Structure formats: structure tokens, C-alpha cells
Structure 1
Amino acid sequence: MKTSDFDFHLPEELIAQTPVEPRDSSRLLVLDRERQTVNHKIFHDLPGLLKAGDLLVLNHTRVLPARLIGVKQETEAKIELLLLRREERDVWEVLIKPAKRLKIGNKVLFGEGMLAAEVIEVLPDGNRKVRFQYEGVFEELLDCLGRMPLPPYIREQLEDQERYQTVYAKESGSAAAPTAGLHFTPELLAKLQERGVETAEILLHVGLGTFRPVKAERIEEHVMHSEYYRVLPEAAEQINRAKAEKRRVIAVGTTVTRTLESIADAEGLVRAGEGWTDIFIYPPYRFKAVDALITNFHFPKSTLVMLVSAFAGREFLLQAYETAVRERYRFYSFGDSMLII
């Protein structure tokens, strides 16, 4: 298929710059694949749209304050560093701006030397591997010195850094938020539990490859980024029990979808474990584990809109996106949401 098959017109003013309050007051576009209908709801209507026995699968990753601003030790030139992936204890793959200023052996200082990063390798794609040097606990220094790595299309300052975390975020490691989960509140999760909706938690650390554009003319030629996942035995057991009992498994976000589809067998049963996934889902694709999907609105021609097109049907999804644009829904990370059943 052509990348252009997943293009659509999006007015720039519909790109949400700030989150709505409260979280669950965002709009919710409900797509019924069987009836081919679209309905307009509010996210706090979700308990009435789900059924007792439905299993919501959440990604409890937490976004690192992964953006560090420092100076090159030798020249005091300003350097911006973005943590991408932890290779070992103090060695990280990072994105550096401006990269051309840093060669192997150069150091960047943060917080007047509280934290230092020495370049130890230049990677083929221009990224660097650095080794951090510090005294104390790295995570505490990062909380003190780092900033939230908001996507490039968000130009407004975020006053509350926790607003770019889900309320159930636990384990740090992501360079971006699993944004489909940003709409949940503790109160809404409690109402869903009262409704008889179960929840299971898995982990996938979101990488910046999420925002990487598809440059290939044909989507089959695109090289997908890899991301770390972990599914504990308890979560796998919950998912497999739901599948065995013909209850719906509802993925909260494309990160959960990619994880479950990576580890599911032909019957939709999943295995506990951890690893790296670079699964690229696009039409036609037969979903094995996921029965319904909660997701935000995505970039034109992105791997995410391709995944959702595979789930909803490309023409139906693009028609729904046209409706969302016409009705002035808000797009991307701080935007509104979709429920696809």
C-alpha cells in the first residue's frame, strides 16, 4: 500500500496544545465496526459503553524527565540531550542537539556538574551513546535536572508535569506518554470497576520512534522502531482467561495493541515475558488478541494511523477522521479520544 493512502487534511488549529480539565471531560468518538456508525460521547461516558466482564489492558509506563539542557565542558556551548534508551546501568542512547559539536570523549555538564555525560560512541543514525557520571542516585538527579520531553508539535509550556503522565503510571522508562491513557481519572477507573469492567496492566516503554514520519512511498518499505515490553504472568493469565471466556479484551492505546499482538498466538492467547518488539501493523492484518481499542487521533501518514486503519478499516477510519475534523475534535497527545468496538 502507498503511504499516501493514509493521508488526510488536518487544520493546524486542531492540534491540542494543552490538556482539558478534568481529564475525563475530553470528547470520545465511538466507532462501531459492525454497524459502521459513529457516535459522539464524552470520555466519562465510558462505563456506560462497556460491559461487565470487559478487560481493559493498561500500559503503566511512566515518562522520564528525559530532556536535559547542559553545556559542553570544553566550550560551554549550550547542548540539549534527550534520553532514548538505557543500554546498561549508566550508558544511554541519546539524541543530541546540535550533534555535530560532540565527538567521542567530549563531555556535557548538567546542573553545574552535578551530572556529566561523556560521549563513548557515535551511532550510524547520528545518535550518540553516552556514559553518565554522578554521585548519588541517577533517577533523583534526573527528576531534579530533567524536563518532560513533550512532542515537538506542543509549543505551550506544561504547568503540571504530571499531566503528561497517566494516573496509573508506575515504572519510568518512556520518552513519550501512552496518550490514550491520559483521559482516565481514579474516579473513572473506580466507576468502571463498579460496572464489572476488569483491568490488567502491562509495560511498554514508548520510544521517540512513535513520532518518526514514514518517508517510504510504500509502507512495506518502512523500518519500524523497537520498544521494550514486559508482561507479567498475572496479566497474561487475566488476558487468557478473558479470551477463553469470550470476553472482550480492550487495548488502551496503540502501545498495548502492539505488545499484545506481538506476543499472541493464532488463538489470541498471550505468553508472559519480556523483550523488544518492532511489530508494524497495517492493513490487511488479522488481530488475534485485541477485540476493541481506545486511542487518540493520530498524525496523517503515521504508523499509528496505519495501525488504527487496520483495526477499524481504512475507509471507515478516514471517514471518521473527516467527521472529527468537521466537528472540531482535538488531535494528538492532549487531544480527544476514540473508542473502536
Structure 2
Amino acid sequence: MNPPTDPRQLAIHSFTYDLPPGRIAPAPLPDRAASRLLVSRGGVIQDRTFRDLPGELPPGTLLVFNDTKVVRARLLAQRPTGGAVELFCLEPVAPHRALEPALAQTGACTWRGLVGNGRRWKEGPVAVEFTAPDGQPATLWAARQAREAGGTALLDFRWEPVYLTFAEVLHAAGHLPLPPYLGRPDTAADAVRYQTVYAAHEGAVAAPTAGLHFTPELLAELARRGVATAHVTLHVGAGTFQPVKAAQMAEHPMHTEPLIVTAALLRQLLAHRPRPVIAVGTTSLRTLESLYWLGAALAAGAPVGPELAVGQWQPYENAPDVAPDVALGALLRHLESTGTEALAANTRLLIAPGYRFRLVQGLITNFHQPESTLLLLVAALLGPGWRAVYDHALATGYRFLSYGDSSLLLP
């Protein structure tokens, strides 16, 4: 079997297109399922609405959703002199690095984040005044440690009342981190519409936007038609939607995102093979393909460290090529040996042209920014046909990016 082509030499400028600002959807449609749906099946393109999705899926499809929930990770603080500073929480650092215990932390914690309008923030803490869930006045203070490479900084938080969890602090004091290209503050409507209807596990700082089109009625229709469904959890990081700034992919550092899947999901994937698996969103797809690489490494006898992780270039570096069933089985045996029912890992997997898909046969996704890793993923799935899909969407009035229309991509 020929090894996959290494995408490190890809020029990101080869994956661009002209996206007029007026084609970026500024807000969601009143009805989630009323979005348009571009169906690309074997290179043949058809126009549908999202409500038509159940009838467009291949027979025997398993749909896999990412059930992460967006946290209010954006904080608008005040300097002692009255100036505004924006803090964007990206990932926990201390006393916990895992999201669940970090969000349950009380009193104080440290997160890695971005600071906006921080040039005049020389010293001393900045503060956010808010109302606690029990109606009491509350205050969050943030102090900045030394800046890090890449523009991030470590932010030391403390708050009163100290019995509040950090999740409660963010929910009461924070704002939804809407994509910056929307150019507007979040609203009460966004609190509902920038979450999927099946969101369950807090931890994302950006929405898995492909899932925003699903409604309870549409999910019920899928069930009525016998479409199998499953859930994974990948907490979407801010780096997911950032354009690539390096000229070649070898110079682009892929962001790390935590994922969680259950043993039941692994068993479901094994039982479903070889029928088609379609990922709802690029994050679900990256999670499923990361499961293959985690299992392939275990099946090949790779040493198991304290944290399971998939590297950015792992599929392209003479990685073991094992059957998907073998990889999934190795993951299940690993969970059984550790006596746990959930697998927690990290992934930096970059999927770009040259990648060979192991577990996924199709994708439901929105239309992505030029020169982004998400567009590279679509190009890996469709080959050169990605450009015909985007040309058609631009020529026929589709709405782009997070609140835009959708596509069903079946190569």
C-alpha cells in the first residue's frame, strides 16, 4: 500500500477563494433547518434545504455529532483607571489542566488566554463586576503573567464569593465568544443559537457550527427513518477557525484540542462497519479519525504514556497502517485494561490533501474561510472538486461561515 502524500510542502495560497464580506452570514436564520444544503455526491452538485437532509443520506448511515457546549469564555474587564480590557479564556493551566475539574474549581485558577486592548494594562489586576447566581454581588479579578510566544498570556483569576465555581463565574460574568469576523457583540439570541440543540458538555470556546442547523424535529425525523446516531465530545478551540499564516503547512503549528469518547461509542462504530459513517462537522470528523490513529498506535505496540495524543503529522510519518477494526479494538482493550468507560485524549491531527480517511465516508459542514485548516480538510475529502463546490455556492447565493448555510459532502 502506498504511503500517504506528505502535506507539509502544500502552499496554503493554493487553497483560497474570493469571499465578499456580504456573503458572510451576520446572524442565523429564524428557523435553523431552513438553511440551504448543498449536496455534493460523487462530484454531482444539487441544491436542497437542510430539512431535506434525512432523504439525502446514504442507506445505513451513522451520523456522529459533537456534543460540546460553548462556554462564555470572553470577559470584558476594567483597569483600575477605568479603561477596558478584553480577556479570552482558551485553556486551563492550574490547578487543573483538564476542563471538567478546571470549570469546577472554586476561588482561584490560572488559564491561558488572549488579551485585547491590553497595551495600557501595565500592572495590577483588572476586574469584572457581576451578579452571582444566588443574586449576590460578585467580583472577578485577573492578573497577567508574562506574555507567551504566539500572543497568549497566563491569566491568574480570583473571585468572590469564593464558593462559586469558575463555570458559574463565566456563565454569569462572561460573553459568548462569537467569531471576530461577525464584528458585533453577542446578544440574547446568540446565547441560544450559538449552541447546538444537543450540546451537553461545557468546554468549547467556539461552536461546532455544522450542528447549528439541527432541530429537535429534524432529529426525530432521522430517528423515525432509522438513521443511527452517536455522539463524541471535542472541545473546540479558538485555533480551529484561524486562517493559516505560514506560506507552507510545514510552518503551521496545529492547535491542540481535548476529546472524550465512550467505550459504547467505540462498540457502536465496530458494530456499524462497513456501513457509512458521516461526521456532523469537521470537529466530529477529526475526532473519529483521531480515534483511528490512537488505536493504530496501541495496536502496533507503541508505549502508553500518561496522556494519549495524536500528533499533527502522525499519519504522514511512516505510521502503522492497521485495519480500522483492529484500531478500534485496541482502544477498547485499552479502556478495559484501565477499568474505564471513557477515553480522554488530545489531538493535533491535521487533515489535508494527501490524507487517507479510515473511519469517515462523508461530512456535513458549513462553508469555511479561505486559507484555513478547515478548507484543507474539505479539500482532503473531495480532492480538487472542493473548488467546484465553493464556486457553485458563491454563484448561487449560499451564506458562508458560522451562521451560514450547510453542505453534505459525499466523495
TM range (shorter): over 0.9
For the residue of structure 1 that corresponds to 2:115, the secondary structure is strand
Alignment of 1:45-56 (within 5 A): 45-56=52-63
Q: Which residue of 2 aligns with 1:106?
A: 124
Q: Return the match for 1:145 from 173, 184, 187.
A: 173
Aligned residues of 2:243 and 2:370 also touching (Cα < 8 A): no
Matched, 1:17 2:23: no
User: Paired residue for 2:263?
Assistant: 233
Indicate the residue corresponding to 2:232 in structure 1: 202
* Pair 1:138–1:324, CA change in 2 (3 A): same
> Post-superposition shift, 1:78?
1.1
Residues 230-279 of structure 1, C-alpha deviation per residue, up to 9 Å, x if partnerless?
11111111112212xx1111100110111111121442343362121111
For 1:126-179, what per-residue CA distance to the aligned partner results, in whole angstroms no more than 9, with x for missing partners?
Answer: 311122212223222221211111001113454411100000001111110000
What is the aligned partner in structure 2 of residue 268 from structure 1?
324
In the alignment, structure 2 segments of 5+ residues that lack a partner are 1-9, 97-101, 103-108, 131-137, 297-321, 332-341
Q: Give the AA of the match of 1:168.
A: Y
Residue of structure 2 equivalent to 1:280: 350
CA shift digits 1:11-38 (9 cap, x unpaired): 21110001012101100000112xx200
Q: 2:111 aligns with which of 84, 92, 111?
A: 92
- Does 1:223 find its partner at 2:283? no
User: What are the equivalent positions in structure 2 for 1:28-67 lying under 5 Å apart?
Assistant: 28-33=37-42, 36-67=43-74
Deviation string for 1:78-131 (max 9, x for gaps)? 11101111222322111111233446x731210166111222443222311122
Q: What's 1:186 paired with?
A: 216
Structure 1 runs not aligned, ≥5 long = none
Equivalent AA in structure 2 for residue 301 of structure 1: E
SS class of match (1:45):
helix
> Bigger shift: 329-338 or 76-85?
76-85
TM-score by length of 2: 0.78
Deviation (angstroms), 1:289: 0.8
Task: Report what 2:199 is aligned to.
Answer: 169
Aligned residue for 1:334?
403
* Greater gyration radius: 2
**Letter paired with 2:381:** F
Which of residues 389, 392, 396 is equivalent to 1:323?
392
SS of equivalent to 2:30: coil
Contact 1:150 1:176 (8 Å CA) reproduced: yes
How many equivalent residue pairs? Answer: 334
Match of 2:144, SS state, is: strand
Q: Retained in 2: the 8 A contact 1:51–1:195?
A: no
Instruction: Pick the aligned partner of 2:370 from 264, 286, 300.
Output: 300
Q: Which SS does the other structure have where 1:153 is aligned? A: helix
Cα distance in 2, alignment partners of residues 221 and 126 from structure 1: 17
Percent same amino acid at aligned positions?
43
Bigger drift between 145-154 and 127-136 goes to 127-136
For residues 39 and 126 of structure 1, the distance between their equivalents in structure 2, rounded to whole angstroms, comes to: 43
User: Is the contact between residue 54 and residue 196 of structure 1 (CA under 8 Å) also seen in structure 2?
Assistant: no
Q: Distance in 1 between matches of 2:251 and 2:351?
A: 13
| One-letter amino acid of the counterpart of residue 196, structure 2 | T
Amino acid corresponding to residue 144 of structure 2 in structure 1: V
